[in-house]
Structure 1
Amino acid sequence: MPASSSPALKKPKRAVYDSHSNSFSTPTTSQTSSTMSNDNKQINTFQRPESPTLPPETGKVHDTMTSTSMLNDNHRDLKLNLIKSSHSSTRSSDIGPASPTSNSVAIDTTTYQMQQQLEESAHRMQHRPSRSKSKHRHPTTSYSSSLSTTKSHSHPKHNTNPSNNKTPDHLAAAIELSTTNAVAAPAPAAGMYWSRTLTYGRGPSRPLRAHTANLIGEKLYVFGGCDTSLCFNTLYILDMGRALIIDTMTWSKPRTINQQGPPPCRAHSCTVVERDLGSGRRSHQLYIFGGGNGPDYFQDIYVLDVETLVWSKPNIEPDTRPSKRRAHTTCLWEDKIIVIGGGDGARALDDVHILDISNPHAEVLRWEKLQTSGSPPPARGYHTSNLVKDKLVVFGGSDGHDCFEDVHVLDLVKKRWSQIDLDRKIPRLAHTSTQVGSYVFVIGGHDGRRYSQDVLLFNLVTMSWEARKVYGVAPNPRGYHTTVLYDSRLYVLGGYDGKNVFDDVHMLELSACAYLPQITNFEIDV
């Protein structure tokens, strides 16, 4: 890494959230995390760490029958009103960045009051006596699980409701997600909860890792990736629009016109670009950059028109392209694609490149290498980056030797790096980081020794880690997966645990945290 003058670490100012004035903010754009991936022979692009020691197998996770809600009509209405209020201003933000003139709207007092009413209603439901004396085994559901219950093709065994000697919190029994003896712990009404999502249709024929997943409206576009031996250049679409109604999603495999499409690749990046065509019409494109296939690394840009499903390959001004790479990240900022880091097969990279795509009719596109000051992060791949207004938050990654635990912030206006002084060190690579309001949810990844299934919350206001209890049966430990935010739920697709490649879809119900996307009045102070 080039030598540079590194100023002392800055301790961010601690901010206090005032629930009455609602002083928080976030970009209207919901940034989907960039997932860093590899092939079966390499944990990263540069040098494979020691093989992780996986925890003992706990049995195959199976889907279960839909649970019967214990909540009364008033409580159910409160839930639906809260979810509608929580999503009404955020649904469009999943598509891409808002226009420069759009302003974020803070969570209003009505939503806050509805949240309090919901919690009080759940509290009353938890502490009322159980009405069922039946000896038959049947699952019941808490608030968090009643918002999303799963179905099964098989006939799993259901556990009985907790006995009378349980504490009141245990009266809200959880949905059983496994046929093993290990049963999910009962979840409080406001607890985040894992469950598995049913999918139908023409989905990926092989398990996937190192793929990308981008949300446009209610459809998730999944491209590329690999299994244990092959890379793919296939596009799949997961329709998530009916998930809140019937708890299932439908796959499709559209036919694209591939005369100028990308080759099979993994560990590439995919960026959604939305354009205003006037008269209420909008267009969407997917920009694929980089990636690799075996020993080959790429540096080309490919564009898919989502409406016509036609691939194109823009002309790039000579001698401006970044070097070939994979395991990098990209974000969209003011009609510019920002590329950070990655690896070229021989070394990790620490450069930052910008591609201006503001002119959709430009015959030639031009890359620019960004010259920065401050305290840049060491070269790395398998990191994640999240755009928060004019700042890029970079976390974790690896250079082939070390698994990083640091957080760096790039001010795109001042072109200056700052390193955050953290009170807790959490090494991660090949994880996902998804912004949910004033938090970043970090899921899974590798800590340099083993794969993880943890859910970690990073507070963007205080720049510190926070612990939250998560209930249900979590997905198997994994890395190189993708995570997207849709309707106040986080969905995890695919991944790799050092031995197995997964084809499952899991959902994290945010429950009482469903209001987080509405928090919009915060600033990153570094």
Structure 2
Amino acid sequence: MADSQRSDRSSRPVVKTGKLVRSQKIIQLSPSDTRPPDIPENSEAPRREHATPTRSHTPGHLSTKSQDRRKKASDLALRQRSQSLNQSHPESPKSARSPGVHSGRGTPRPENPLSPPVTNPNAPPPISQSMVASRPLNIRSTSAIASKPKPEGVPSPTPARVVTPAQRPTRGAYIPFPPLPDPKTAPDVQPAPASGMYWSRAPVSGASHTSLRAHTTTLIGSNIYIFGGCDARSCFNELYVLDADAFYFSNPFVCGEIPVPLRAMTCTAVGKKLVVFGGGDGPAYYNDVYVLDTVNFRWSKPKIGGDRQPSKRRAHTACLYRNGIYVFGGGDGVRALNDVWRLDVADTNKMSWKLISAPSSSSSEDKTKPKARGYHTANMVGSKLIIFGGSDGGECFRDVWVFDVETLAFSSVHIPLSYPRLSHTATIVGSYVFVIGGHDGVEYSNEVLLLNLVTMVWDKRKIYGQPPKPRGYHGAVLHDSRLIVVGGFDGGEVFGDVQVLELAVHAYYSQISHFSIDV
């Protein structure tokens, strides 16, 4: 039998019954042991009689390679310790040992492992596991301070996984959490009343990240997934994750079919997956669909079914409603668009496109649907898609439209006083749409506009604190009664900051908890 079984049972007592009951190995008895009366002193015990196996040695696991591997280091230590004890034992002369391999209990093991063991009456008693229990084997140190020094000449262990620089995106230095501002040098701002909203810059830490514009910001749980976008020189396809509670940036390693560098695409959360559509880079426009699983950070590019597919575009919008992503507008580099498509995402492995509303002819003025546009915003409230602003490359729009995805009909909203905007953000908060920043056709803005969805009237509120610089092409998400703004562009500078708008309940929340949009 293998040594692994011998060393494990060296501490088992001899069963003193009418017969010597054997386990899965032959136990060597010392002269001092009392033999059962029906077994002669020089005879061997029957081999086919076994003791009841313990839980750790159930049938089917005897002498397996997996056990041999686990006990190899332990058996080696036992044999070495047994040899050192036997050499110093006065009752174990060298002449009593055969040239076989030492078994670790004073009795040599023959070269043939199938031969019976040689009984040596002068052998010392077997070494039990309890004799070495006080010296645990193979204990790993988890402390970098008190780690055991590595002997000279012993190579360092090979890491389990080596990632080459080509496989992993470039990362900068770690950004520590910034210190608290000195009250003497901190900005002098008004304190906010209990019902007032308040601007502040988030103190971020973690992985360094680039400044971005025309990227996507998508919330899943308490994590904001920031993908793509560009700075003043080039576009990216990197993924950053911002913990919206701790404001901690990470740059996880992703694998699979990674998208090309993109800007002005859309990213929609479907469960724990992100669905990216369209976008472009310079003169290139795309209509590809990518899916990122945020559990294992693997990208995929599934095949999309359907009779037709939307044209290549960017600067469009995408909103989820009942297992469908509704895409509106954008531009293809030649003209602006105002068509509506539905991407069925009930199964992200078997998605399909369907045209919901055909595009209008560029030569006709269709009063039943909005003008073709890009860099607008769209928000889903129930089955209604709220579309605001945007541009066709010449005009900056200020109109508001509602598209009912159940009836497939557009409705124009008449608002006497409105504000032109493009490249802004719009977020649903209660019964309001919060619009932050953007361009008004003349300059970039840092205003916060509130569209009351019950009265369909624009509103402005006083906001305390230090407002961010005017910007457009940024991202914004709502988390924990805060609007979190990431990045942006003011025509000259690309931003990498994170701004926070604290929302006081009395400042933004409608007294109407349940409402419907009637236009």
Both proteins in one fold, TM over 0.5: yes
> Residues of 2 paired with 1:475 and 1:348: CA distance?
31
Q: Determine the structure 2 residue equivalent to 1:347.
A: 335
TM-score after normalising by structure 2: 0.62
Q: Determine the structure 2 residue equivalent to 1:235.
A: 239
Inter-CA distance 425–514: structure 2 relative to 1 (3 Å threshold): closer
Q: Determine the structure 2 residue equivalent to 1:462.
A: 455
Say whether residues 1:329 and 2:317 are aligned partners: yes
Inter-CA distance 516–214: structure 2 relative to 1 (3 Å threshold): same
Q: Determine the structure 1 residue equivalent to 2:160.
A: none
Say whether residues 1:158 and 2:145 are aligned partners: no
> Residues of 2 paired with 1:361 and 1:265: CA distance?
22
Shift of 1:152: 4.8
Q: SS at 2:505's partner residue?
A: helix
**Matched residue type, 1:417:** F
Question: Where do 1:25-36 residues align within 5 Å?
Answer: none
**Matched residue type, 2:375:** Y
Say whether residues 1:191 and 2:206 are aligned partners: no
CA RMSD of aligned residues (A): 2.0
Shift of 1:241: 2.9
CA contact (8 A) 2:306 2:352 kept: no
Q: SS at 1:376's partner residue?
A: coil
Shift of 1:337: 0.8
> Residues of 1 paired with 2:333 and 2:367: CA distance?
27
CA contact (8 A) 1:452 1:479 kept: yes
Shift of 1:472: 1.1
Deviations 1:119-161 (A, max 9, x none): xxxxxxxxxxxxxxxxxxxxxxxxxxxxxxxx953754537xx
Shift of 1:500: 0.0
Q: Determine the structure 1 residue equivalent to 2:13.
A: none
> Residues of 2 paired with 1:360 and 1:215: CA distance?
18
> Residues of 1 paired with 2:438 and 2:431: CA distance?
22
Which of 201, 211, 220 matches 2:224? 220
Q: Determine the structure 1 residue equivalent to 2:261.
A: 264
Question: Where do 1:420-499 residues align within 5 Å?
Answer: 420-499=413-492
Inter-CA distance 256–514: structure 2 relative to 1 (3 Å threshold): farther
**Matched residue type, 2:314:** R
**Matched residue type, 2:419:** I
Q: SS at 2:509's partner residue?
A: helix
Q: SS at 1:201's partner residue?
A: strand
> Residues of 1 paired with 2:336 and 2:504: CA distance?
39
> Residues of 2 paired with 1:396 and 1:325: CA distance?
18
CA contact (8 A) 2:399 2:413 kept: yes
> Residues of 1 paired with 2:317 and 2:438: CA distance?
15
Say whether residues 1:252 and 2:240 are aligned partners: no
Say whether residues 1:399 and 2:392 are aligned partners: yes
Question: What stretches of structure 2 of length at least 5 have no aligned partner?
Answer: 1-176, 360-365
Q: Which has the higher contact order (CA 8 A, sep 6+)?
A: 1
Say whether residues 1:368 and 2:372 are aligned partners: no
Inter-CA distance 515–455: structure 2 relative to 1 (3 Å threshold): closer
- The sequence identity of aligned pairs, in percent, is 52
Q: SS at 1:444's partner residue?
A: strand
Question: Where do 1:14-413 residues align within 5 Å?
Answer: 152-153=178-179, 156-158=182-184, 176=186, 178=187, 183-204=188-209, 206-242=210-246, 249-258=247-256, 260-274=257-271, 284-317=272-305, 320-362=308-350, 365-371=352-358, 375-413=368-406
CA contact (8 A) 1:191 1:469 kept: yes
Shift of 1:250: 0.8
Inter-CA distance 154–217: structure 2 relative to 1 (3 Å threshold): closer
Q: SS at 1:475's partner residue?
A: coil
> Residues of 1 paired with 2:428 and 2:446: CA distance?
18
CA contact (8 A) 1:287 1:304 kept: yes
**Matched residue type, 1:448:** G
Q: Determine the structure 2 residue equivalent to 1:10.
A: none
Q: SS at 2:290's partner residue?
A: strand
Shift of 1:318: 6.7
Shift of 1:365: 2.5
> Residues of 1 paired with 2:489 and 2:214: CA distance?
9
Q: SS at 1:494's partner residue?
A: strand
TM-score after normalising by structure 1: 0.61
Inter-CA distance 361–479: structure 2 relative to 1 (3 Å threshold): closer
CA contact (8 A) 1:354 1:370 kept: no
**Matched residue type, 1:251:** F
> Residues of 2 paired with 1:432 and 1:497: CA distance?
14
CA contact (8 A) 2:196 2:507 kept: no
Deviations 1:320-357 (A, max 9, x none): 11110000000001100100000011111111111112
> Residues of 1 paired with 2:367 and 2:515: CA distance?
23
CA contact (8 A) 2:396 2:421 kept: yes
> Residues of 2 paired with 1:198 and 1:229: CA distance?
26
Shift of 1:261: 1.8
* Bigger radius of gyration: 2
